[in-house]
Amino acid sequence: MNVQRSFIAASGGEKVSNGSGTLYLVGTPIGNLEDMTFRAIRTLKEVGLIAAEDTRQTRKLLTHFEISTRLVSYHEHNKEASGMELIRLLEEGQSIALVSDAGLPAISDPGADLVKAAAERDIVVVPIPGANAALSALIISGLPTDRFTFMGFPPRERKSLNEWLKHSRKEQGTIICYESPHRVMKTLNAILEQWGDRPIAMVRELTKRHEEAARGTVTECIAWLSEHPPLGEYCLVIGGASEADAEAAQLAEDGRSWWKELDIEEHVNRYEAELGDRKEAIKRAAQDRGLSKRDVYNEVMKK
């Protein structure tokens, strides 16, 4: 059991009662330099050391805010050696700020490993909140915000991507993930295939000059990208599964199908009532049954 009282670590230079320093997780801008908070600037000035994912990028930030604190590198490729050295310095009483290239550290980056190591050694870890791309995209998406899941970056390989999507297909809360401009179209097509034509907000360039949120369905976003080539890093905010879809996914996992007792017309009508779109209902029923859309359409039109 580890209970942390971090109010005593309110400023960057002080030591806690066990003699160790404090690890500060400092939020940095995700685009606009004004994303930086007064507290973040003060903390970066007061700590003894700043550990950065990309020292060149962070150096620009420090220069802008006239921060002269010593800067060292901590990233995915050196995290084992660098991480142990940072822990040693913390245990000796040094206070350290951890920053990422943009936004909050320890989210989809190796900072999480450093936090885990610090917590295991009873080193106080203090968040210095700031801008975050995932939450910023969520609150402008127009999709439900009361329940959501952040899934980081999707896998690159198609097989792994499909498994990743199948694992979350019954999640009924809003889903958030990051994607690069080079892979966003591939990921959207996989989402359409695995999850259907859900509502989505495709957000990019947050807090920058060309900030953009494209809201619609997955199909509409694919069409948009076909005419407007992807630029910048994307945050995808995707509507969760409907109750019927979640039920179907669970039944599929259990080796059962909810539609087995229905004829094709009843199957289509169930989807149409839920989706409000007969064409999409026919497509979904065809996918369920392993039939062509034409076969399902012809069967339904007979009646």
CATH class of 7-131: alpha beta
Report the mean per-residue pLDDT for the chain: 90
Quick check: 254 pLDDT over 80? no
Q: Quick one: pLDDT at residue 251?
A: 67
Triad 135, 236, 102: Cα angle to 5° = 50
Taking only the tens place, the pLDDT of each residue in 55-104 is 999 999 999 999 999 999 999 999 999 999 999 999 999 999 999 999 99
Domain layout of the chain by residue ranges: 7-131, 134-238, 259-301
Q: What is the pLDDT of residues 141-184, one digit of tens each?
A: 999 999 999 999 999 998 899 999 988 989 999 999 999 999 99
Residue with the bigger pLDDT between 290 and 62: it is 62
C-alpha–C-alpha distance, residues 149 and 95, integer Å: 32
Q: What is the mean pLDDT of residues 223-236?
A: 95
Summarize the confidence of residues 263-277 as an average pLDDT.
Answer: 86
Q: How far apart are CA 99 and CA 26, in angstroms?
A: 5
CA angle 159/163/167 to nearest 5° reads 170
Q: Which amino acid is at 290?
A: G
Closest C-alpha among 271, 237, 219 to residue 139: 237
pTM flag (> 0.85): no
Tell me the fold of 134-238: 3.30.950
Question: Which one-letter DSSP state was computed for residue 154?
Answer: P
What pLDDT is stored for residue 3 in this prediction?
78
